[in-house]
Amino acid sequence: MWKAIVFDMDGTLIDSPLCFRTLRERLDIPDGAPILEHLAALDPEERAFKERLLEEMEVGYAGGAKLIEGVQEMLQAFRTVGVRVGIFTRNCKAATQRVLDAFDLPVEMVLTREDALPKPDPDGLLRFLEAWKLEPKEMLFVGDFRFDIECGRRAGVETAFYADGAQEYDDFGADHVIADYRTFAQQIAGPLSPYASS
The backbone torsions φ and ψ at residue 8, rounded to the nearest 5 degrees and listed phi first, read -65, 165
Q: Which of residues 120-159 bind Mg ion (CB under 5 A)?
A: 144-145
Q: CB under 5 A: which stretch of 6-14, 60-68, 107-115, 168-176 binds Mg ion? A: 6-14
The count of chain residues that interact with Mg ion, using the rule CB under 5 A, is 5
The residue among 8 and 189 lying less far from Mg ion, judged by its C-beta, is 8
To Mg ion, the closest distance from the beta carbon of 18 in angstroms equals 9
44 half-sphere exposure, CB direction, 13 A CA radius: 0
CA distance 128 to 175: 19
User: What is the H or E stretch that residue 17 is in?
Assistant: none
Determine if 161 is a binding residue for Mg ion (CB under 5 A): no
To Mg ion, the closest distance from the beta carbon of 27 in angstroms equals 18
Dihedral sign (CA 160, 75, 82, 128): positive
Q: What are the percentages of helix, strand and coil residues in the chain, rounded to 5?
A: 45, 15, 40
Q: CB under 5 A: which stretch of 8-16, 35-43, 110-118, 165-173 binds Mg ion? A: 8-16
Determine if 10 is a binding residue for Mg ion (CB under 5 A): yes
To Mg ion, the closest distance from the beta carbon of 12 in angstroms equals 5
The neighbour count for residue 167, using CB atoms within 10 Å, is 6
- Mapped onto helix, strand or coil, the DSSP state of residue 130 is helix
Q: CB under 5 A: which stretch of 11-19, 23-31, 99-107, 184-192 binds Mg ion? A: 11-19
Q: Which stretches of the chain bind Mg ion, using CB under 5 A? A: 8, 10-11, 144-145
